[in-house]
Amino acid sequence: MTQGASIPGPRGNVLLMPTRNIRKKTHEYLSQLEKKYGDISKIKFGPFTVIYIANPDYIEYVLLNRDAYIKIQEGGMLRILLGNGLLTSEGEFWLKQRRLIQPVFHKQRLERFVQKISESTDDMLSVWETKQGETTDIYNEMNRLTLDIVGKTLFSTNVKSEFDKVNTALTKIMTAIRNRSRFMRFPLWVPLPSHLRIEHNRKLLNETIGDIINQRRNEIGKFDDLLTMLMEVEDADTRERMTDKQLRDEVLTIFIAGHETTANAMAFTLYLLAKNPEAKARLQKELTEVLGNGELSFEKLQKLEYTTMVIKESMRLYPPAWMIPREAAKDDIIGGYQIKKGDKVLASPYAMQRSPRYWKNPEEFIPERFTTENMKDMPRYAYFPFGGGQRLCVGNNFAMMEMQIILAKICAQFDFTLAENFEMELTPLITLRPKEGVPLRLIKR
């Protein structure tokens, strides 16, 4: 077999480097690697060898080659959180589940969700009317809203009262998982405090999902939604239904993958608009022109061009899924460089979408980058907030439509400014989050 070149990179283990706390700033560290080593670099991160790829062609190669570059197996962060659902499963099993779930999210079928998304947003805005002039943490508001939307649209269930429980459990698990990735990795069954915390909070999430499923068992036939479909579908060969555990993992996956990412993207978008009043004014002008005083509809959403550009530019600067990791299933060569079976291969929307090699003034918020004309020059896979290849986000069209509706409704009815002296800091957990939320002062228009 031909041998590839060895990959350049810093010496030693990055977690031992004394000057920086890399775990808390990994998203920035990746840009430094690209600056120093270019398209590809290798680091020792705790017990792992991580290959960081910063070239659109390499990223495309890895994302499109799903048999050779698989999801992280043992001990992967997402697997601990979500079990074996659509986001983490592999091979034939994944393909079967993907084929089952994907049709729910087809573009042509999204129209039926417009009304429910609008109603949930209206409910939130009517509470905001009572908060006039107050400073409100928009990050929290967005999480509450998007959880409500996923619950109502896909599972015909009201999870509003469960919000605090779900949100706290999720944050605790993500933080415990991140803090776990040091040198000595004990299996999860070893009763360390962090492991017990993960176990306890995972149990809370399972209980919430279990309650939703049990309630549906008493109401079967009443709803035509994703939950009914998952509960009733039979394997074409064995005629068996999903096991309780599988069902729970799939439902939890959609709940978690389907709300937190969208909430983060919305919070970052509102933050950017508050910092860029001209863009906000232009967006509001478009809303007046397209919506007038009338109700929002699926047809009108297609006309919200600038609003869509704002969302895309926001996800360029702050992609909620800031890193996309894979594991090499076999020895391979990328761009002439040697990859070994078991290596972790990492692509990062955050670092690539801010790379000065592919973007002019990368740190600036410029929605006009996303006009149809300008997008023609954009290299594929220098922008990939929803991933790519067969494992592309199954909810990407749903998310885009949801964000258009939420943003249009908020900006049509409210003006907002950032709390004085607020400087945003980022926390790169499994998703990219604003560390201290996003405090906005709300003013009714």
Nearer to ligand HEM, 385 or 434 (CB): 385
Nearer to ligand HEM, 56 or 320 (CB): 320
The residue within the footprint of ligand HEM, chosen from 66, 354, 391, 433 (CB under 6 A), is 391
Binding of ligand HEM by 262 (CB under 6 A): yes
In angstroms, rounded to a whole number, what is the distance separating the alpha carbons of residues 3 and 27?
31
The residue within the footprint of ligand HEM, chosen from 53, 159, 265, 272 (CB under 6 A), is 265
The residue within the footprint of ligand HEM, chosen from 9, 56, 387, 428 (CB under 6 A), is 387
Q: Residue 156 Cβ, how far from ligand HEM at the closest point, in Å?
A: 14
Binding of ligand HEM by 174 (CB under 6 A): no
Rounded to the nearest 5 degrees, what angle is found at the Cα of 123, between the Cα atoms of 121 and 129? 100
In angstroms, rounded to a whole number, what is the distance separating the alpha carbons of residues 444 and 436?
24
Give the pair of three-digit tokens for residue 110. Answer: 């999204």
Nearer to ligand HEM, 16 or 95 (CB): 95
Binding of ligand HEM by 276 (CB under 6 A): no
Nearer to ligand HEM, 91 or 342 (CB): 91
Nearer to ligand HEM, 41 or 153 (CB): 153
Are β-strands 69-70 and 324-328 bridged in parallel, bridged antiparallel, or unpaired?
antiparallel
CB 156 within 8 A of CB 225: yes
The residue within the footprint of ligand HEM, chosen from 324, 405, 406, 411 (CB under 6 A), is 324
Buried b or exposed e, range 232-258, using 16+ CB within 10 angstroms: eeeeeeeeeebeeebbbbbbbbbbbbb
Q: Residue 420 Cβ, how far from ligand HEM at the closest point, in Å?
A: 29
# of chain residues touching ligand HEM (CB under 6 A): 23
**For helices 193-217 and 244-257, angle between their N-to-C axes, nearest 10 degrees:** 100
In angstroms, rounded to a whole number, what is the distance separating the alpha carbons of residues 199 and 193?
10
Which one of the spans 33-41, 241-249, 372-380, 381-389 is the region binding ligand HEM (CB under 6 A)? 381-389
Q: Residue 322 Cβ, how far from ligand HEM at the closest point, in Å?
A: 9
**Beta strand extents in 66-173 (DSSP E only):** 69-70, 135-137
The H-assigned helical ranges of 138-258 are 138-155, 163-180, 193-217, 226-232, 244-257
Neighbours of 283 (CB within 10 A): 22
CB 321 within 8 A of CB 394: no
CB 143 within 8 A of CB 263: yes
Q: Residue 205 Cβ, how far from ligand HEM at the closest point, in Å?
A: 16
The residue within the footprint of ligand HEM, chosen from 87, 290, 334, 438 (CB under 6 A), is 87
The residue within the footprint of ligand HEM, chosen from 143, 157, 201, 253 (CB under 6 A), is 253
The residue within the footprint of ligand HEM, chosen from 386, 405, 432, 438 (CB under 6 A), is 386
Nearer to ligand HEM, 149 or 283 (CB): 149
CB 414 within 8 A of CB 280: no
The residue within the footprint of ligand HEM, chosen from 398, 401, 416, 418 (CB under 6 A), is 398
Binding of ligand HEM by 254 (CB under 6 A): yes
* Region 188-217 residues binding ligand HEM, contact defined as CB under 6 A: none
CB 350 within 8 A of CB 319: yes
Binding of ligand HEM by 428 (CB under 6 A): no
The residue within the footprint of ligand HEM, chosen from 142, 170, 399, 432 (CB under 6 A), is 399
CB 387 within 8 A of CB 63: yes
The residue within the footprint of ligand HEM, chosen from 9, 83, 151, 385 (CB under 6 A), is 385
Nearer to ligand HEM, 395 or 434 (CB): 395
CB 251 within 8 A of CB 227: yes
In angstroms, rounded to a whole number, what is the distance separating the alpha carbons of residues 283 and 98?
36
Nearer to ligand HEM, 197 or 409 (CB): 409
In angstroms, rounded to a whole number, what is the distance separating the alpha carbons of residues 199 and 206?
10
Nearer to ligand HEM, 9 or 85 (CB): 85
* Region 149-168 residues binding ligand HEM, contact defined as CB under 6 A: 150
- The secondary structure of 31-92 as a DSSP string is HHHHHHHTTEEEEEETTEEEEEE--HHHHHHHHH-TTTEEPP-TT-HHHHHH-SSTTT--HH
Binding of ligand HEM by 320 (CB under 6 A): yes
Nearest to 62 by CA among 337, 277, 411: 337
Q: Residue 71 Cβ, how far from ligand HEM at the closest point, in Å?
A: 6
Binding of ligand HEM by 439 (CB under 6 A): no
For 243-273, the three-class secondary structure string (H helix, E strand, C coil) is: CHHHHHHHHHHHHHHCCHHHHHHHHHHHHHH
Binding of ligand HEM by 269 (CB under 6 A): no
Which spans of this chain sit near ligand HEM (rule: CB under 6 A)?
86-87, 98, 150, 253-254, 257-258, 261-262, 265, 320-321, 324, 385-387, 391, 393-395, 398-399
